[in-house]
Amino acid sequence: MIPRYTLPEMGALWSEENKFRKWLEVELAVCDVHAEMGTIPREAAVEIRARARIDVARIHEIEKTTDHDLIAFTTSIAEQVGEAARFLHYGLTSSDVVDTANALLLRDACDLLLAKTESLMEVFRRRAFEFKRTPQVGRTHGVHAEPTSFGLTFALWYDEMRRNRARLERARETVAVGKISGAVGAFAHLDPEVEERVCARLGLQPAPVSTQIIQRDRYAEYLTTLAIVAASLEKFALQVRHWQRTEVREAEEPFKRGQKGSSAMPHKRNPILAERICGLARVVRANSAAGLENVALWHERDISHSSAERVILPDSSIALDYMLDRSAKLFDGLVVHPARMIENLNLTRGLIFSGQLLLALTRAGVSREAAYEWVQRNAMKTWDEGGDFRSRVLQDADITAHLTREEIEAVFSLDTYLRNIDRIFARVFDR
């Protein structure tokens, strides 16, 4: 991922130096287990641990000859360690190291993503209660529907992120799996106990069965989980882009001092954060497709997955980390205009109360078909000719024959639409 969208902690996690550090962590754990089991001399394991260091430049230099990064890595370590290095990588194949190290990287990436998910959820909780009683027109098909609570939107998003948190927790469990089972997964050169002990040292579960590699449905689950979370963030950001439209202007991104919206139009305040989040969601979603294509490999393994994974695993993790961080900043600082919400709520001159009027007439004994016809004819006149819906209703002989003026006035109250907000909030937040 380019530096523009890379935050320090997640970027450091996916750095090349940290990748090699995780490889070394796996190699050292294997040496320690071999020493415990008497497979290699204990002093050799101690010497390897004491002398082994990561030299990225030297690894790259060796790889120019070997054209194999894991061999370049072990060769670099051997140069530092000396004679004891003959016990390094004992009984292993490259994927034993790479895939087990990947499990460490993916597990740690999940931990960072989970922490930022929690932060975003807290923002949504706070803003949900802040705007719990703030009326806003609800929209279906982009058209005004019925009044709702602005805070209800944040409650909805909080609940969705709770599901995303559970998805990330499941993905963490799925990818935190190592393997030390050899070239085709049959433990030809090592006892399965080595795998069990190494994984225990590293805080991983051993794969119940493997080929040369950890099976890529695990990585696909991780990547598709990230894509789902990214899709949620895109959904939230897309709403901000609507709210910030000039014709709507119910809420907008914070605009800091000195910020510029356009090189040509000094008046512009654009939803750039929201648009950036929507754009990066496309990247994460596309990467998940590559992850799914990596599931099917030839026999016990080919390396068609490898080149793609070097891009999609770090890039998706880094991108979602950035999206979560910026989403929290966006919604924490979101500038809300309740007065504008009331203006927009009144734009249709009362039409949004048509459903409540329909129910009032049916309660008064009118058939639903007749009630719908009476309400709709007044609504269509208001759409086509202008004027006020309530005034038309009060002059409609069919309607006033069944509803008193007071009953009609009550139809146009916002209280009905917000009367169950407390119960909804209890269902969301009292869990």
**346 phi/psi in degrees, rounded to 5:** -95, 5
Q: How far apart are CA 419 and CA 136, in angstroms?
A: 14
Spell 366-383 as b/e; 16+ CB within 10 A means b.
beeeebeebbeebbeebe
263 is catalytic: no
Q: Is 232 a catalytic residue?
A: no
**Pairing between β-strand 205-206 and β-strand 177-178 as defined by DSSP bridges:** parallel
Cβ neighbors of 421 (< 8 A, separation 6 or more) are 132, 133, 149, 151, 152
Distance CA 250, CA 148 (A): 14
Q: What tokens does 38 get? A: 């008497």
Active-site hit among 141, 267, 299, 307: 141
What stretches of 94-226 adopt beta strand conformation (E)?
135-140, 143-149, 177-178, 205-206
Residue 410: CB atoms within 10 A of its CB come to 14
Return d(Cα 59, Cα 73) in angstroms, integer. Answer: 5
Q: Which of 68, 189, 262, 391 is catalytic?
A: 262
- SS3 assignment, position 138: strand
Catalytic site positions: 141, 262
